[in-house]
Amino acid sequence: MTFDKRKVVYQIYPKSYKDTTGNGIGDLRGIIEKLPYLEELGVDVIWLNPFYPSPQRDNGYDISDYTAINPLFGSMADFEELVQAAKEHGIELMLDMVLNHCSTEHEWFQKALAGDKYYQDFFILRDQPTNWVSKFGGNAWAPFGDTGKYYLHLFDISQADLNWRNPHVRKELFKVVNFWRSKGVKGFRFDVINLIGKDEELKDNDAFDGKPEYTDRPIAHDYLKELNQATYGQDEDGMTVGEMSFTDIPNCIQYSHPDSHELDMVFNFHHLKVDYENGQKWTLKPFDFEELKHLFHTWGQEMSEENGWSALFWNNHDQPRALNRFVDIEHFRKEGATMLAAAIHLSRGTPYIYMGEEIGMLDPDYDTMSDYVDVESLNAYQELLTSGKTEAEAFAIIQAKSRDNSRIPMQWNGSENAGFSKGTPWLKVGKTYREINVENEKSGPIFTFYQQLIRLRKAMPIIAEGSYQSAYQDHPNVYAFERHLGDERLLVLNNFFAKEVDIDLPESYQSGKILLSNYPEMALSEKITLKPYQTLAIYQEKSGSKDNCQ
Ligand code: GLC
């Protein structure tokens, strides 16, 4: 199986994209309606967050039936129409497979609770809990009915971890993937897939809340090879990506190396923790540029040298908007949005755009705690209060960090509810929708810059295939890298700050051609000045020179 490195993925959170029924919840028909918009943007694949039957405790990541459509989002006929219509627009679908856990309302768990031994072995049951901490707070074990046993839930109490050591479980889960393949789906995003191989002996571990006991265990690689062989490995084309929680480079190389036959590519999150105080999410800290640069360089370089492949992204449904985190949005929203885009779209890996990013959407800036609905945020707020924070302090943290930030309705126009729904949206719209919306932005600098980036990746093999080389590693304000392909060279300079900075350009690039910038044309010379949040990509067709960008 091979995947096409020229492709760009667009992520849609179906619940918030476009509501066609007026129930306040986005739906599959809403996505069909917006396919021409997506074609205009130029994306090749759309990744849809879960739309399966689910009690929605974790917005669909708590699945109670893997092979059906939640009526809130439409019907199977709508889905089939979506696959067909997308194809007509040159777009493929990527579905979210949540195979590490299922909802406690799933019939497997219900049968297990009712005493069925066969299904009890689908879950991870123990007489005594370990000290592992759930990723949504509290202990990761909960009483299993009145049996005196405990079941493992690495996430919410309603998300029971599945026992991958049981071959019957693996068989059932492979059937799920094959069901969607039979509907014509060739793209899959595997949720927290590096957590499926819990250690055989489940022990207490004080380090990192117990994570080493169940993260990136060698057996996870074995299961992925098995999954690949039994399902998508049989497809000629397609695309698979694994979400890797708390991972490292050697494991990610292994997950994504073509010879491993596991996955095409991996998401890691280290670069989105550079504004965490002591690695803790629920804190406030300006981002650490040195750390960000170092992470991009080490991951970029090592994945390139060892032939791993990364999914490149700034935003998704679990992250506050990158613009709010990394950019002076009051003065430089457009420059910042385009610079951030170039910093990943011109890099080595597959770029992912999260809905709204292409128009520079921002966090909603809610005024009160009652606007937030996400289970993780609500738990975190309580924990912050318990730990001694005042209500105002705790609220400020939720405002900056909540996953609801990115889940707000897509801003289509300046009419009520941002043109998302005629009913009451399940989550309140953001404050900026009257100015920042598709209608206003589609011919503006951000959207057109994204179109350009997508086109360039398709037109230039150096962008899709070139190796990654870090550049100007010691520059205090600029994140820069080179791409190499044969004799071709591409230098990408990204000023991450709201002030001008100087760069000494090596001779070979002084005669290069400016491929792209988010500021008007400039002349190349020995010394150049980058404007606030400027990105500048310089292409050299035949470098011939060994000049290094220090
Ligand atoms: C992933 C999803 C997140 C979800 C969690 C549990 O991290 O992206 O939204 O809550 O897995 O399924």
Which helix (DSSP H) or strand (DSSP E) does residue 485 occupy?
Answer: strand 478-485
**What's the whole-number average pLDDT of the chain?**
97
Q: How far apart are CA 224 and CA 265, in angstroms?
A: 12
Average pLDDT over residues 378-399: 98
Q: Using alpha carbons only, what angle is made at residue 287 by residues 285 and 290, rounded to the nearest 5 degrees?
A: 130
Residue 548, pLDDT above cutoff 70: no
Q: Tell me: the pLDDT tens digits for 442-490?
A: 999 999 999 999 999 999 999 999 999 999 999 999 999 999 999 999 9
Work out the average pLDDT over 100-107. Answer: 98
Mutate to test the pocket of ligand 1, among 96, 102, 155, 190 (most ligand atoms within 8 A of CB): 155
Pairing assessment for the beta strands 239-243 and 265-267 based on DSSP bridges: parallel
Q: Candidates 3.40.50.970, 3.40.50.1370, 3.20.20.80, 3.50.50.60; correct CATH number of 9-102+173-245+312-455?
A: 3.20.20.80
* Mutation to probe ligand 1, out of 47, 59, 192 (largest number of atoms < 8 A from CB): 192
The arithmetic mean of pLDDT across residues 342-371, rounded, is 98
Split at pLDDT 50, 70, 90, the class of 421 is very high
Decide if 29 contacts 78 (C-beta within 8 A): yes
Question: What is the reported pLDDT for 544?
Answer: 64
Q: Report the C-alpha dihedral over residues 74, 79, 80, 85, rounded to 10 degrees.
A: 110
Residue 536 pLDDT level (bands cut at 50, 70, 90): very high
Pick the CATH number of 463-540 from 1.10.3720.10, 1.10.10.10, 2.60.40.1180, 2.30.40.10: 2.60.40.1180
- Annotated domain spans of the chain: 9-102+173-245+312-455, 463-540
Q: Is the pLDDT of residue 550 over 90?
A: no
Comparing CA positions, the residue from 168, 135, 167 lying closest to residue 153 is 135
**Whether residue 33 lies in the annotated active site:** no
Sole residue written with tokens 């091979």: 2
pLDDT at 542 > cutoff 90: no
Counting from 1 in the atom list of ligand 1, the atom nearest the Cα of 58 is 10
Catalytic residue, candidates 92, 213, 243, 358? 243
Q: Give residue 8's pLDDT band: very low, low, confident or very high (50, 70, 90).
A: very high
Report pLDDT digits (tens) over 177-208: 999 999 999 999 999 999 999 999 999 999 99
Q: Which atom of ligand 1 is nearest to the CA of 136?
A: 10
Task: With a cut of 80, say whether residue 355 has pLDDT above it.
Answer: yes
Res 546 pLDDT > 60: no
Ligand 1 atom nearest to CA at 62: 12
pLDDT in tens, 221-241: 999 999 999 999 999 899 999
Question: What's the predicted TM-score (pTM) here?
Answer: 0.97
Percent of the chain with pLDDT over 90: 97
Q: According to the model, what pLDDT value does residue 5 have?
A: 98
- 465 in active site: no
* Position 349 pLDDT exceeds 70: yes
Question: In this structure, what are the phi and psi dihedrals at residue 532, rounded to the nearest 5 degrees?
Answer: -55, 130
CB contact burial 243-268 (16+ within 10 A = b; e otherwise):
bbbbbebebbbbbbbeeeebbbbbbb
Q: Closest Cα to residue 496, out of 291, 264, 219?
A: 291
Whether residue 545 is predicted with pLDDT greater than 60 in this model: the reply is no
Q: What is the pLDDT of residue 521?
A: 82
Per-residue confidence (pLDDT) for residue 547, from 0 to 100: 60
DSSP, collapsed to helix, strand or coil, labels residue 178 as: helix
